[in-house]
Amino acid sequence: MTETTLNPTRLVIAAILGLIILLVLIIKFKVQAMIAILVGAIAIGLIAGMPTADIVTAVNDGIGNTLKGIALLVGLGSMFGAILEVSGGAQTLAVTMVKWFGDKKAAWALGITGMVIAMPVFFDAGLIILIPLAFSLAKKTKRSSLFYAIPLLAGLAVGHAFIPPTPGPILVANMLGVDLGWVILVGIFCGIFAMIVAGPIWGSICGKKYYIPVPEHVANQEDFDESKLPSFWSIVGIILIPLVLIILKSISGVVPAMAGLQPLFNFLGEPFVALLIATIVAMFVLGLKHGYNMEELEKIMTKSLEPTGMILLVTACGGVLRYVLQYSGLGDVIGGAVSSMNLPLVVLAFIIAVLVRVSVGSATVAMTMAAGIVAALPGISELSPLYLACVTAAVAGGATVISHFNDSGFWLVKSLVGMDEKTTLKTWTIMETLVGATGFVVALVISFFA
């Protein structure tokens, strides 16, 4: 498929109108994101004057090339997270970390736990599993729930946004063609700083300024039986399996001493292989040895796949947007405009993601659209893996900031923590903005050395 040569002015007008159509469909008419992105992408092609055959090719290539890079990872990650969830692994991490840090530093323990848990477990599930521990600490210390809820939320937001195998950075990395090992390394650096700023530091400020009592139904609950939880080190070891294998694959390619082992690490560190190994280990260590039989595990793992359909389809339609922009030649037009502005690509990626995030609300849609636009720019494949990993983190940061009324996460947090809309904006929304902005700044600094 060769890119069509079209009038640059018409291309820009087509892109603006197509994106307006997309946003209006989502914001005003509440059209499902997958349909809205697909309609917007096709509208761009038609308004730009692309031959209909080229639009069809862009749709097919966008769906196929995008899904082949992430479908297995999202599915395996969901099953891995489900086993971790039902076994009590998340509670194990949280309870052990709080014991180590002590009540005075419990906010740090919850932030770190949230960051680790959100890598394999979806944000919503991780929050529902762990929020009772934050409430129990607030009840015990007679402090505002926000002292502990905000650090937990910050950790979950960081793990959900920056560090694979969570779907967001995987889909961006796939669109940009960057090795996941680099994305994990950069994501961990960005995530640690973001968690500290938005978690314990901001949580302490919120906890002193706003007193949010423990919800009544939680205050009367009995504490869970810690003796039935799996061991801390087994949980840590299983979660580290895919991260270590993927990182070893990246390192073996640049460290001469590991050259002999490179073929082995290339295979074991292939993301779907690494996640498959971790899932099988979790099945035995956290499943069978924890009292579940294979039939029960099969039902748990199958159930976990239900939410992945929406994620995969929205992501695939983002791939369609990327290929329409690329095949129409708009990527070259945007690339020329960016070059004349002298904006670093990391900054551009962040700005695009922020604009979509504020307009649409969905972090997944913001990541998908921003990655699609950036991936269509010329010369992307020539950039270093480290720089592209920084671009990935910038997109993730931009897609995290300013969560407000159009974000489902805003309403989930408001309901679970028991805040009104005004307080949620002053606490959760600022926390999300601190997470995204801090992660972006760290990525920008790293990019100077790429």
3-state helix, strand, coil in the chain (%, to 5): 80, 0, 20
Question: Averaged over 38-67, what is the pLDDT?
Answer: 91
CA distances to 100, 158, 396, 440 from 161, rounded to whole Å, are: 26, 5, 5, 11
Chain centroid to CA 448: 24
Res. 45 pLDDT band, cuts 50 70 90: very high
- Within-domain flag for 432: yes
pTM equals 0.83
294 found inside a domain: yes
Both structure tokens of 250: 């990246």
What pLDDT digit, counting tens, does each position of 351-367 carry?
988 988 887 777 888 89
- Residue 392 domain-assigned (yes or no): yes
Residues 6+ apart with CB under 8 A from 167: 70, 73, 74, 77, 311, 315, 364
Check residue 255 and report its DSSP letter. -
Is 3 within a domain?
no
DSSP state letter for 143: -
Please report, rounded to a whole number, the percentage of residues in the chain having pLDDT higher than 70. 94
179: tokens are 């090795």
Chain-centroid distance, C-alpha 424: 21
* C-alpha 86: how far from chain center: 22
Count of domains forming the chain = 1
| pLDDT reading at 335 higher than 70 | no
Look up the domain containing 394 and give its range: 8-447
Tokens linked to 214: 């423990």
362 with 410: CB under 8 angstroms? Answer: no
Stretch among 104-113, 149-158, 316-325, 438-447 having the lowest mean pLDDT:
316-325
- The answer to whether the CB of 363 falls within 8 A of the CB of 161 is yes
Confidence of residue 223 (pLDDT cuts 50, 70, 90): low
- Return the residue matching tokens 């949280």: 94
* CB contact at 8 A, 113 and 93: yes
Dist CA 260 CA 365 (whole Å): 41
pLDDT, position 227: 63
8 burial level (CB within 10 Å; 0-12, 13-18, 19+): middle
3 pLDDT more than 70: no
Pairwise CA distance, residues 62 & 59, whole Å: 5
Rounded-to-integer distance, Cα 235 and Cα 229, Å: 10
pLDDT value for 122: 76
pLDDT value at 5 more than 80:
no
Report if residue 1 sits inside a domain: no
Check the CA dihedral 160-164-167-168 and report its sign.
Answer: positive
Within 10 Å of residue 140's Cβ, how many Cβ atoms?
13
Whether residue 2 is contained in a domain is answered as no
